[in-house]
């Protein structure tokens, strides 16, 4: 059994109060009995418990807030491995931890590379170097993003770009890309950029930062002859859970397509300007949104089965949506009788003329076919009973709907209206009213 693997193990998790981290902790602690789970949280125990109690119904929050196997460590990732923790805690972690889940990260897509050097790259590198010294380390899990390879959209002519579960070097295929990564990292630290970054068209600095972080993590593992201990999980666009901890679970701002829906709901005109190179963008361009529980179960299964290297946590070719399908679901969320529609232009994805969501997310109007071959193979090896209780693939048996995130769409629309100093009734008028998912069904259980 997958869950037996975690029994008696000691785990260390960063980002445990985030979207993925919370879902991962709920799943792990409700299915298995680890010896101890250390959760790094800036702000400590009170802050972590307050966040979980805010985002989860009591039955699910209790799994985390009342758990005797969990210890919350008040610390913060930075550009040293100390994480603001006392030396004795660092020594204790070193001696006891078997599995590290590194899910903490800035998800600010547009922050400069100089900033991301401090919020994504240095923390990941420092934690990797520290964890690779653990004598009992079985797996170091680094959460990256499937869009770390989004620059491939610009280097391919196809309107559906295939991405495999591997590293795509930014120079020549045969080069030593770990050595190149070290050189690039040194330049990024000195200048805030690098030649390889300038030579490729990434949608956001964040995508390149994750691409570089993946290679640096692997480089450190190679140096210590521990490549078999590193697992890189690449989620696509996170969406609410299909099943665990309960259907519809999401943080208020964790799902990017909820953010898009909130912005489109507020759009006063009839046309929303978006960029594409597809001839029939509504049908050809796609959105790979993956339920958070699929990310969590894929991660936990691959760790238990000792997978190393890169894994896509995605909906894939079968589960992704065409823009048309997404738009169909969106139309049901806006109250006013006219519905804004995409107005497709062939501008560059950095064009300042696009709608603010086009400028922010940039991958709208593209299409990526992320391979999920390695999970398909693993699933074939699992028994039918075990597979049935795992969410390894997105459930697309029902038509796609944004209904369960109505509350979050409205919440985000109100936040945008506040920022822009628009009257709040405008957001309330345009959005359908929704209750938090946990109140829709009194029987929701984790």
Ligand X SMILES: NC(=O)c1ccc[n+]([C@@H]2O[C@H](COP(=O)([O-])OP(=O)(O)OC[C@H]3O[C@@H](n4cnc5c(N)ncnc54)[C@H](OP(=O)(O)O)[C@@H]3O)[C@@H](O)[C@H]2O)c1
Interface with ligand X by CB under 6 A: which residues? 14-15, 17-21, 40, 42-43, 76-77, 103-107, 123, 143, 145, 235, 237-238, 251, 254, 256
For ligand X, the closer of residues 102 and 277 by Cβ is 102
d(CA 418, CA 423): 8
Closest CB 404 distance from ligand X, rounded Å: 17
Closest CB 310 distance from ligand X, rounded Å: 13
For ligand X, the closer of residues 105 and 367 by Cβ is 105
Number of Cβ within 10 Å of residue 413's Cβ equals 25
Closest CB 257 distance from ligand X, rounded Å: 9
For ligand X, the closer of residues 26 and 40 by Cβ is 40
For ligand X, the closer of residues 206 and 344 by Cβ is 206
Q: Which residue is it, tokens 């078997």?
A: 98
d(CA 369, CA 383): 28
Closest CB 38 distance from ligand X, rounded Å: 13
Containing H/E element for 310? strand 309-313
Bridge partners of residue 233, in order along the sequence: 143, 311
Closest CB 103 distance from ligand X, rounded Å: 4
Closest CB 16 distance from ligand X, rounded Å: 6
Please give the biggest Cα pair distance in the chain.
63
For ligand X, the closer of residues 61 and 430 by Cβ is 61
For ligand X, the closer of residues 121 and 430 by Cβ is 121
Residue nearest to ligand X (CB): 18
Identify which of 255, 297, 386, 252 has the alpha carbon closest to the alpha carbon of residue 24.
297
Q: Which residue is it, tokens 């075990």?
A: 386
DSSP strands (E only) in 160-283: 161-163, 230-235, 237-239, 271-275
Identify which of 133, 136, 111, 135 has the alpha carbon closest to the alpha carbon of residue 121.
111
Give the CA distances from residue 195 to residues 101, 186, 187, 390, in Å, rounded to whole numbers and listed in that order: 31, 11, 8, 43
For ligand X, the closer of residues 107 and 382 by Cβ is 107
For ligand X, the closer of residues 232 and 430 by Cβ is 232
Task: Please provide residue 100's backbone torsions phi and psi, each rounded to the nearest 5 degrees.
Answer: -115, 130
| Strands 139-143 and 70-74, sheet pairing | unpaired
* Residues constituting the chain: 446
For ligand X, the closer of residues 28 and 237 by Cβ is 237
Give the CA distances from residue 253 to residues 103, 399, 407, 413, in Å, rounded to whole numbers and listed in that order: 16, 23, 11, 11
For ligand X, the closer of residues 54 and 176 by Cβ is 54
d(CA 151, CA 137): 33
Closest CB 354 distance from ligand X, rounded Å: 20
Number of Cβ within 10 Å of residue 2's Cβ equals 19
Record the tokens describing residue 152, joined without a space: 């491939």
Identify which of 77, 61, 54, 56 has the alpha carbon closest to the alpha carbon of residue 29.
61
For ligand X, the closer of residues 303 and 430 by Cβ is 303
Closest CB 148 distance from ligand X, rounded Å: 9
Closest CB 152 distance from ligand X, rounded Å: 16
Closest CB 238 distance from ligand X, rounded Å: 3
d(CA 151, CA 147): 8
d(CA 408, CA 195): 40
Record the tokens describing residue 372, joined without a space: 């999920």
Closest CB 312 distance from ligand X, rounded Å: 11
């Amino acid at each position: 059994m997958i869950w037996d693997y975690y029994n008696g193990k000691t785990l260390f998790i960063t980002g445990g109060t985030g979207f993925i981290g919370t879902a991962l902790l709920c799943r792990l602690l409700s299915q298995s009995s680890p010896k101890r789970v250390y959760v790094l949280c800036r702000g400590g125990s009170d802050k972590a418990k307050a966040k979980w109690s805010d985002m989860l119904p009591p039955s699910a929050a209790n799994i985390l807030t009342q758990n005797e196997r969990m210890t919350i460590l008040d610390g913060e990732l930075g550009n040293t491995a100390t994480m603001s923790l006392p030396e004795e805690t660092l020594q204790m972690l070193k001696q006891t931890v078997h599995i590290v889940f590194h899910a903490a990260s800035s998800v600010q897509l547009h922050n400069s590379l100089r900033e991301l050097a401090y919020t994504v790259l240095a923390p990941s590198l420092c934690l990797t170097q520290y964890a690779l010294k653990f004598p009992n380390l079985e797996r170091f899990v680094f959460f990256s993003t499937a869009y770390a390879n989004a620059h491939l959209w610009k280097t391919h002519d196809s309107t559906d770009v295939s991405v495999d579960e591997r590293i795509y070097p930014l120079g020549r295929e045969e080069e030593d890309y770990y050595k190149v990564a070290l050189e690039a990292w040194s330049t990024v630290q000195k200048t805030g950029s690098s030649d390889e970054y300038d030579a490729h068209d990434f949608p956001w600095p964040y995508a390149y930062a994750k691409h570089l972080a993946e290679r640096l993590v692997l480089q450190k593992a190679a140096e210590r002859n521990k490549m078999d201990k590193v697992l890189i999980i690449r989620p696509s666009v996170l969406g609410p859970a299909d099943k665990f901890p309960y259907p519809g679970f999401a943080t208020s701002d964790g799902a990017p397509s909820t953010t898009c829906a909130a912005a489109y709901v507020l759009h006063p005109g009839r046309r929303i300007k978006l960029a594409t190179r597809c001839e029939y963008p509504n049908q050809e361009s796609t959105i790979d949104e993956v339920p958070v529980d699929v990310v969590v179960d894929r991660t936990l299964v691959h760790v238990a089965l000792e997978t190393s290297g890169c894994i896509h946590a995605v909906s894939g070719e079968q589960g992704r949506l065409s823009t048309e399908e997404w738009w169909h679901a969106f139309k049901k969320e806006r109250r006013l009788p006219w519905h804004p529609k995409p107005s497709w232009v062939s501008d560059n994805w950095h064009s300042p003329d696009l709608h603010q969501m086009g400028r922010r997310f940039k991958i709208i109007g593209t299409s990526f076919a992320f391979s999920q071959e390695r999970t398909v193979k693993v699933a074939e090896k699992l028994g039918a009973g075990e597979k049935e209780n795992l969410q390894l693939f997105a459930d697309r048996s029902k038509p796609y709907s944004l209904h369960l995130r109505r509350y979050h769409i409205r919440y985000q629309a109100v936040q945008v209206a506040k920022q822009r100093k628009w009257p709040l009734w405008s957001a309330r008028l345009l959005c359908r009213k929704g209750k938090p998912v946990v109140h829709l069904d009194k029987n929701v259980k984790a």
